[in-house]
Amino acid sequence: MTTWLGSLGDRWLTFMHSIRFRLTLWFVLILALVLGVFSTFIYVTQTRNLRFDAVARLQAKFVQVQGYLGGAEWEHFEIAGNDVSEASVPLQGGDLLILVDTGGSVLGRWGAAISDPKAVVGALVTTASQQPDASVHESTVAIVGKDKQATSSDYLFIMSPMVHDGRLLGYLVIGSQSDLLSQQRRLGLSLGLGSLAMLAIAFLGGLWLSDRAMRPVTAIARAAQTISESDLGRRLDIGGRDELADLARTFDAMIARLQAAFDRQRRFVADASHELRTPLTIINLEVARALSGQRPVSEYRRAMEVVDAESGRMTRLVNDLMTLARMDSGQAILKFEAVDFSDVALEAFERMTPLAQQRQIALEIGELPELKVSGDRQYLIQMISNLIENGIKYCDAGASVRVELLKKENQAMMRVADTGPGIPAEHLSTLFDRFYRVDTARSHNDQPGSPSGSGLGLSIVSWIVHAHRGTIRVESEVGKGTNFEVALPLT
């Protein structure tokens, strides 16, 4: 039982802190304010109208009674219960007609019997003395019925001074039963109960509407709880044009980006493992062969050359992986300064010249006008060196790689072109992906001392170009060569 109550309390607290409850509560509070103002307006207006109608009826009776009594001599006028016939006096059952002198003594009365007429008349006279003109007063009096039982009843009284020859003789008091107070109470009760009923309906309807409106958010929350690294293919696919539909589409786009990032990470890890496994396997095989028995010195030397070449390949691969890791994590800090792009290109050209000579590739240099760009000198040298090395790596002996610089509008254009075998058009869109190599289209020499590709050089080039707010594009034709163009904004 205690566990069930605790669970119920937790659910209730969760519900009270939910957006649905808060939206509904604000909606009901605003509606309560509107209903309060509207009910107050209706109550005041209707009360005024009801009072106006009751006073108008009483004043009409008062005028008729004054006309009936107008011919009588006030000094000798007395009213007894049987002195006036019911047909001649314009009063109804329950009405009162009282004549009072200035001292508050009752000279005559007709109609319903008041249990304490002196107290009622005294209060009315006191009021009338303060307001000489005829005015309407509202009071609750005790009426004695035929069964001698006193019952409280609401009355409206109107008093008028009786003046003869300029002298105040007394007051004429007419009272009429009025249900004005009960009508006011009923009206207030009706407005109050009606407002509460409307608020209850609004609260329940608001909960229903807010629940329908928040269903996409609930679906997003449940999907976020169930989607895992191995289930990133799920989508919400919520239709509509409202804000929640936009949120759902944004969530789907975020999941798609996460899925693409995880796929790239998986491919990256798999490709890195594959690239590292190959040289390690070769090294293990060569070392095992060298240790299997007595070998000539030439075989030991060849094994050491193979081990050296593969260790160098692994070193370059690990360095490239570390470079990409620093770039992805934001740890690669670029120091931007004004750099002569021609000096950078010339330094990279001289750096790659020994490699071109070793591969018997003609490394040529074209025009290098002095163009200033804002960038990190070392990263720019690495970018151009990777492009030149890429051209040397995939060209056969006797081919050429040309480096030139030109100005195009407000950009410095670096062009690295080779006369290698070229790249098929279907591979150009993925050329800058990590570990991507077009081995079927470009030759790859695995002889000791030759450059070996890991598929990371162009990825690094692409990152450096975009970090410098530049663009890179590639043009290639099978059998004719490849042309890389890097455009950086001039300072």
Nearest to 485 by CA among 428, 439, 400, 444: 428
What's the pLDDT tens digit per position in 299-338? 888 888 888 888 887 887 787 777 777 776 666 778 899 9
Q: Return the percent helix, strand and coil in the chain, to nearest 5.
A: 55, 20, 25
What's the pLDDT tens digit per position in 266-276? 777 777 777 77
Residue by residue, what is the 3-state secondary structure of 342-384? HHHHHHHHHHHHHHHHHCCCEEEECCCCCCEEEECHHHHHHHH
Q: What is the pLDDT of residue 454?
A: 62
Strands of the sheet containing 471-477, edge to edge, are 362-365, 400-408, 411-418, 481-489, 471-477
What's the pLDDT tens digit per position in 68-87? 665 444 444 444 333 444 44
Residue 447 shares a structural domain with residue 344: yes
Q: What is the pLDDT of residue 413?
A: 93
Structure confidence at residue 145 as a pLDDT band (50, 70, 90):
low
Under 8 Å CB-to-CB from 471, ≥6 apart: which residues?
A: 465, 486, 487
Residue 143 shares a structural domain with residue 93: yes
With respect to residue 284, please indicate whether it lies within any of the assigned structural domains: no
Residue 153 shares a structural domain with residue 201: no
What integer best gives the mean pLDDT of the chain?
Answer: 79
CB 369 within 8 A of CB 405: yes
Q: Among the three residues 161, 196, 213, which one is the final residue of a domain in this structure?
A: 213
Q: pTM higher than 0.85, yes or no?
A: no
With respect to residue 76, please indicate whether it lies within any of the assigned structural domains: no
Q: Among the three residues 152, 178, 204, which one is the final residue of a domain in this structure?
A: 178
Residue 22 shares a structural domain with residue 153: no
CATH number of the domain at 153, please: 3.30.450.20
CB 326 within 8 A of CB 332: yes
Region of poorest pLDDT, from 162-176, 303-317, 318-332, 448-462: 448-462
With respect to residue 249, please indicate whether it lies within any of the assigned structural domains: no
Number of domains in the chain: 3
What's the pLDDT tens digit per position in 11-40? 667 667 777 788 888 888 999 999 999 999
Q: What is the pLDDT of residue 5?
A: 59
What's the pLDDT tens digit per position in 420-445? 888 888 888 778 777 666 654 343 44
CB count within 10 Å of CB 210 equals 18
- The percentage of residues in the chain with a pLDDT greater than 70, rounded to a whole number, is 82
Torsion of CA 290, 294, 297, 303, to 10 degrees: -10
Q: Answer whether residue 446 shows pLDDT above 70.
A: no
CB 198 within 8 A of CB 156: no
With respect to residue 259, please indicate whether it lies within any of the assigned structural domains: no
Residue 98 shares a structural domain with residue 202: no
Residue 459's identity, in one-letter code, is S
Region of poorest pLDDT, from 50-54, 359-363, 386-390, 431-435: 431-435
Q: Residues in the chain, how many? A: 491
Residue 33 shares a structural domain with residue 174: no
Distance CA 140, CA 182 (A): 12
What's the pLDDT tens digit per position in 228-269? 666 777 777 777 777 777 878 888 888 888 888 787 777 777
Residue 129 shares a structural domain with residue 143: yes
Q: Among the three residues 169, 192, 213, which one is the final residue of a domain in this structure?
A: 213
- Rounded to the nearest 10 degrees, the angle between the axes of helix 2-16 and helix 19-69 is 70
Structure confidence at residue 2 as a pLDDT band (50, 70, 90):
low
Residue 149 shares a structural domain with residue 6: no
* Positive/negative CA dihedral, 170, 171, 172, 174: negative
Q: What is the pLDDT of residue 482?
A: 92
CATH number of the domain at 440, please: 3.30.565.10
In this structure, are strands 150-164 and 135-144 parallel, antiparallel, or unpaired? antiparallel
In this structure, are strands 362-365 and 400-408 parallel, antiparallel, or unpaired? parallel
Distance CA 343, CA 115 (A): 121
Please work out, in degrees rounded to the nearest 5, the angle formed at the alpha carbon of residue 145 by the alpha carbons of 144 and 151: 60
Q: What is the pLDDT of residue 372?
A: 93
Structure confidence at residue 167 as a pLDDT band (50, 70, 90):
confident
As a whole number, mean pLDDT of residues 365-383 equals 91
Residue 120 shares a structural domain with residue 201: no
With respect to residue 74, please indicate whether it lies within any of the assigned structural domains: no
What's the pLDDT tens digit per position in 377-389? 988 998 999 899 8
Q: Answer whether residue 129 shows pLDDT above 60.
A: yes
Name the residue range of residue 159's domain: 82-178
Q: Which value, in Å, is the radius of gyration of the alpha carbons in the chain?
A: 52
How does DSSP classify residue 434? T
Residue 299's identity, in one-letter code, is E
Q: What is the pLDDT of residue 442?
A: 42
Structure tokens at 131: 């307001």
Residue 397 shares a structural domain with residue 346: yes
- Rounded to the nearest 10 degrees, the angle between the axes of helix 297-329 and helix 243-291 is 160
What's the pLDDT tens digit per position in 327-347? 766 667 788 999 999 999 999
Three-class secondary structure of residue 475 per DSSP? strand
